[in-house]
C-alpha cells in the first residue's frame, strides 16, 4: 500500500530520459510528460525546475546556450548524467508494484465516491459524474491502452493475493471465475 503519490524519483527519472534524447527546457519537459501521460497528468512547474537546478549543481546536467533562443534555459545530460540515468532506470524498475498501487488506489477512490453511501458528492451540472458510466469509460480506456501497447487484453481472474504471489516469483493459482482468464505471470501486471 502506497502512502503518497507516484513513486519517489519518478519525475527526475522522466526528466533524465527526456534529456538523454536531446537538450530541453523546463516547460518543454512539462509538456512532454503531460503528453506521455495522455494528457491526464502534469507534474507541477515547481517540481521540474528544482530537479533541473539540482541536476546542474550535481553535474548531472549542464546548461546549453542556443543562439536562436538566448533567453531560454536549456539543459543537456553530462557523462555523469548518463551514468545517473542507468542507476535511475534500475531504481524506478523496482517501483513497478508501487506505481500499480497508485493507479489502482485512485481508481478505487473514484469508485468509492460513486458507490459508498458515506460520500455524498454533488456532481452538479458537470459533464463528469462519479457513476457507473464514467467508471466504465475509465476502465475501457485502460483496456484500449493495454491493447494498443501490449496486444489483446486477456482477463486475469486471480485474486489480488494470488496475483501478487505469482508476481513475487511463485506460481499463482487461477481462481477460476471469468471465461478466458489466464494464469498470472510477471508480465501481466498492467
Residue 7 and residue 93 in contact, taking contact as beta carbons nearer than 8 Å: no
pLDDT at 179: 38
d(CA 140, CA 24): 34
pLDDT at 123: 76
84 CB contacts (<8 Å, ≥6 apart)?
16, 60
Residue 178: DSSP 8-state: S
**CATH architecture label of 10-93:** Orthogonal Bundle (1.10)
Q: What tens digit of pLDDT does each residue of 105-151 get?
A: 999 999 999 999 999 888 777 788 899 999 999 999 999 999 999 99
3-state secondary structure of 151: coil
Provide mean pLDDT across the span 40-50: 88
Residue reference for cell 487461477? 174
SS3 content of the chain, % helix, strand, coil (to 5): 50, 5, 40
Distances (CA, A) of 55 to 19, 24, 61, 164: 11, 13, 5, 36
Domain ranges of the chain: 10-93, 96-167
User: Minimal CA–CA distance to 75: which of 84, 64, 85, 65?
Assistant: 64
Provide mean pLDDT across the span 28-37: 94
Residue 154 and residue 181 in contact, taking contact as beta carbons nearer than 8 Å: yes
Amino acid at each position: 500500500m502506497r502512502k503518497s503519490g507516484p513513486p519517489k524519483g519518478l519525475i527526475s527519472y522522466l526528466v533524465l530520459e527526456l534529456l538523454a534524447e536531446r537538450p530541453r527546457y523546463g516547460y518543454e519537459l512539462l509538456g512532454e510528460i503531460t503528453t506521455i501521460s495522455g494528457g491526464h497528468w502534469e507534474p507541477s512547474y515547481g517540481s521540474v525546475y528544482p530537479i533541473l537546478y539540482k541536476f546542474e549543481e550535481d553535474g548531472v546536467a549542464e546548461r546549453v546556450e542556443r543562439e536562436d533562443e538566448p533567453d531560454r534555459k536549456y539543459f543537456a545530460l553530462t557523462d555523469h548524467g548518463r551514468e545517473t540515468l542507468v542507476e535511475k532506470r534500475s531504481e524506478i524498475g523496482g517501483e513497478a508494484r508501487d506505481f500499480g498501487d497508485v493507479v489502482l488506489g485512485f481508481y478505487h477512490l473514484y469508485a468509492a465516491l460513486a458507490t459508498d453511501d458515506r460520500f455524498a458528492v454533488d456532481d452538479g451540472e458537470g459533464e463528469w459524474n462519479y457513476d457507473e458510466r464514467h467508471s466504465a469509460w475509465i476502465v475501457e480506456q485502460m483496456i484500449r491502452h493495454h491493447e494498443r501497447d501490449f496486444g489483446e487484453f486477456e482477463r486475469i481472474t486471480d485474486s489480488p493475493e494470488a496475483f501478487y504471489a505469482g508476481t513475487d516469483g511463485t506460481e499463482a493459482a487461477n481462481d477460476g471465475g471469468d471465461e478466458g482468464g489466464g494464469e498470472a505471470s510477471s508480465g501481466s501486471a498492467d
